[in-house]
Chain A
């Protein structure tokens, strides 16, 4: 039972354009959502998060949108840079579950110069 799904295994965009990565979830108990990025041979690095009481959170070039009714969240990166090329994981948690995150399968983002 895949509770967090990232349906696009890969995404390719041009430098300077917007990258939009999508994520869907099925568990309505999830109340906190995160995005991590992962470079080869490194562990995932925390990028940005959003609580279920909000519908948008912004941090520099990164913005996460949450649509609770659709059980959908997205990560916008603008402008995209070649250094953003990495695997991006969407993750979700329930308040009482501590550090138990449920991850999606990941999306490989490639930003072309």
Chain B
């Protein structure tokens, strides 16, 4: 069973640039969600995708967007990067059934300078 994999592991971008982070879901999982973890904080929910459509969003501006592909892999796109976007971005996958635990990847560390 292949776990959740994320790429890249680290990334440095300049304020105002755009970034795309990638995630491959665990085999058999059809739901993917993205979280932002700032230093010293718990992960914060960005959004969730199911069957290639966004079906839940946290308190993040529209410049955070995503995609889910037919093979359940996913992308997180962030436009017009700001310094506060520096964080660990975690992808998680799960089954589409109630209280199915999330399985997290190791994250992408984004630094915006």
- Which A residues contact B (CB, under 8 angstroms)? 4, 6, 32, 34, 36, 41-46, 49, 51, 89, 91, 93, 95, 97-106
Report whether B43 and A103 are in contact in the complex, using a CB–CB cutoff of 8 Å.
yes
Distance in angstroms between the alpha carbons of A104 and B44 in the assembled complex: 9
Q: Given the known inter-chain contacts A41-B106, A43-B90, A43-B105, please indicate yes or no for A100 contacting B48, CB distance below 8 A.
A: yes
User: Closest CB of chain B to A65's CB: distance in Å?
Assistant: 18
User: Closest CB of chain A to B16's CB: distance in Å?
Assistant: 29
Q: Given the known inter-chain contacts A43-B4, A44-B104, A45-B104, please indicate yes or no for A98 contacting B41, CB distance below 8 A.
A: no
User: Closest CB of chain B to A82's CB: distance in Å?
Assistant: 22
User: Closest CB of chain B to A77's CB: distance in Å?
Assistant: 18
User: Closest CB of chain A to B91's CB: distance in Å?
Assistant: 8
Q: Given the known inter-chain contacts A97-B56, A99-B94, A100-B56, please indicate yes or no for A89 contacting B102, CB distance below 8 A.
A: no
Report whether A46 and B42 are in contact in the complex, using a CB–CB cutoff of 8 Å.
no
Q: For residue B2, which residues in chain A have a CB less than 8 angstroms away from its CB?
A: none
User: Closest CB of chain B to A100's CB: distance in Å?
Assistant: 5
Across chains A and B, the number of contacting residue pairs, with CB separation under 8 Å, is: 64
- Chain B, 44-60, contact with A by CB distance < 8 Å: what is the 0/1 string? 11001010000110100
- Chain B, 62-99, contact with A by CB distance < 8 Å: what is the 0/1 string? 00000000000000000000000000001010100011
Smallest CB gap from B4: residue in A: A43
Which of A45, A99, A105 meets B42, CB within 8 Å?
A: A105
- Which B residues contact A (CB, under 8 angstroms)? 4, 31, 33, 35, 40-45, 48, 50, 55-56, 58, 90, 92, 94, 98-107
In the A-B complex, the 9 residue pairs with the smallest Cβ-Cβ separation, listed nearest first, are A103-B42, A43-B104, A46-B101, A99-B33, A43-B106, A44-B104, A100-B45, A103-B43, A105-B42
Q: Could you show 17 A-B contacts with beta carbons less than 8 Å apart?
A: A41-B106, A43-B90, A43-B106, A43-B107, A44-B104, A91-B42, A98-B48, A98-B55, A99-B31, A100-B45, A100-B48, A101-B102, A103-B42, A103-B43, A103-B44, A105-B41, A105-B42
Distance in angstroms between the alpha carbons of A24 and B81 in the assembled complex: 34
Distance in angstroms between the alpha carbons of A81 and B40 in the assembled complex: 24
